[in-house]
Amino acid sequence: MAGKSFLIDTTKCTACRGCQIACKEWNKLPAGETKQTGTFQNPPDLNASTYRLVRFQEYPSEKNYMVWYFFTEACRHCMSPPCKTEADKYVKDCITVDKNGGVQFNEKTKELGANAEKVKAGCPYNIPRLNEATKALVKCHMCYMRVDAGLLPACVKSCPTGALNFGERDDILKLAQTRLAEAKKKFGDKAELINPDEVRAIFLVADTPAKYCEFATY
Amino acid sequence: MHVTRREFLKISGMASALGALAGLGFDVLPIKSYAAGLDTMTVKETTSICPYCAVGCGQIVQTDKATGKIINTEGDSDHPINEGSLCAKGASLYQLAVNPARWTQVLYRAPYSDKWEEKTWDWALDRIAVNVKKSRDAGFVIKNAKGQEVNRTEGIAHIGSAALDNEECWLLQAIMRSLGLVYIEHQARI
């Protein structure tokens, strides 16, 4: 079965961070105390109570004085998740793939102990985080309860601009090609989809992926 | 039976997790529930309008039928303004109501005091009424410099809020005008 997928069209993102907060709100994750570091990116990184984070990068640009890239980052839900391969070596089925293709970390990740670091390192996108209090590995779970009930994931539901899209994988792949063609027309040939065949959270970027996020691709 | 939100989440979480396990058989899903607001048997849905800015996005507020407490808020897909979407502020609406940092008591700091005291609403409203009357009378102008009848008070100003709805605005306007205020402002113009 093809399952579900996301298309994250960064060219439509205004970095309102509605997705980031909707995720926090739905999962009832607490706020963390942060400091102003000179960027709107806040908190500075994903953490045990932030499964989705909007990353901000700015670069000088000859044409527009500066460009500002937004990258709403969460788990990519890989088609063949390397985190699962790694985790299965230590605690079988502490990471599973659900019927929609969502990669799910469950309570058994608490049994990973010191091996949790190896599972974290196994993720090419640097997504899993350790909940220091419960010792469980946590990350985006594709809102499986909502999707099961026929709802959109909280982040996608909140997106006002159409940057975040979710649906059947076949439909999303088609939409991705349409949006890619639009982006190439507007932003030039650098526009690309990041690893569309490997992941279920496909990013469309207008420039080199690494300019958006250190771990945008590998 | 009194059920707190935490207990409610626990109960519904166990039910959902069991249901998911029974349905899929092979899947080991997280035991913790993320499913607040999905069980229509226990949840009541009420439409509301986001209070934060003038866009006026529609929201659905889901409350526990037993306790009346809010367990989830999200954008209203049927609302013509936002069609289900929300910005960061709108998406955070839940914690406007359910928030351990929220004040539930009237706090009063006396002039020159360096600490807050807890007071009752009756005490606070009486005190506000007395002070409003005092300031209004002290700043009341019957005739201006040209001798024209103006009947206004220049001792009080009012700053409104984008979080007010139409009816609240009407009430405030009526109260302030009847007191004779002329300095009536709104944060969006400042």
Please report the pLDDT score of residue A1 as a whole number: 58
Question: pLDDT grade, residue A76 (50/70/90)?
Answer: very high
Which has the minimum average pLDDT: B9-13, B78-82, B83-87, B115-119?
Answer: B9-13
Domains of chain B are: 5-97 (2.20.25.90), 106-189 (no CATH)
Give the pLDDT of residue B161: 81
Look at B34 and A141 and tell me if their CB atoms are within 8 Å. yes
CATH number of A82-141: 3.30.70.20
Q: What is the pLDDT of residue B190?
A: 66
Are A107 and B38 within 8 A, CB to CB? no
Q: What is the pLDDT of residue A23?
A: 95
What is the value of pTM for the model shown?
0.79
Residues B103-119 have a mean pLDDT of 94
For an interface test with B, give the residue of A12, A20, A26 to mutate (most B CBs within 10 A). A26
A205 touches A189 (CB < 8 A): no
pLDDT digits (tens, 9 = 90+) for B63-99: 988 888 898 999 999 999 999 999 999 999 999 888 8
DSSP class of residue B41?
T
pLDDT band for B36, please (50, 70, 90 cuts). very low
Mean pLDDT, chain B, integer: 81
Residue range A178-192, pLDDT digits in tens: 999 999 999 999 999
Looking at chain A, the domain(s) classified CATH 3.30.70.20 span: 4-74+145-211, 82-141
Query: Does residue A193 have a pLDDT over 80?
Result: yes
Report the top-level CATH class of A4-74+145-211. alpha beta
Contact B32 A107 (CB under 8 A): yes
Q: Is the pLDDT of residue B188 over 90?
A: no
